[in-house]
Amino acid sequence: MAREADARVEVLSERSEFSQVFAEPDGRITYESTVVPKRVHRSDGTWADVDYTLQRSDGQLRPVASYADVRFSTGGNGPLVTMTESGKDFTLGWSGGALPAPQVSGDTATYVDVLPGVDLLVRATDMGFSHILRVKTASAAADSALARITFDVGGDARLWRSPTGSLQAIAGNVLLASAPGTCQGIEASGS
Strand partners, 169: 159, 177
Write down the pLDDT at residue 125. 93
Ordered per-residue pLDDT tens for the chain, 191 residues: 888 889 999 999 999 999 999 999 999 999 999 999 999 998 898 999 999 999 999 999 999 999 999 999 999 999 999 999 888 899 999 988 899 999 999 999 999 999 999 999 999 998 899 999 999 999 999 998 888 888 888 888 888 888 888 888 888 888 888 887 654 443 344 43
CA dist 45 and 138 (Å) reads 51
CB atoms under 10 Å from CB of 82, counted, come to 21
Q: Which amino acid is at 148?
A: R
3-state helix, strand, coil in the chain (%, to 5): 10, 50, 40
Query: What one-character DSSP code corresponds to residue 52?
Result: E
Q: Are 113 and 146 in contact (CB under 8 A)?
A: no
Write down the pLDDT at residue 91. 93
CA dist 62 and 88 (Å) reads 17
Write down the pLDDT at residue 2. 87
List the Cα angle 20/26/30 in 5-degree steps. Answer: 20
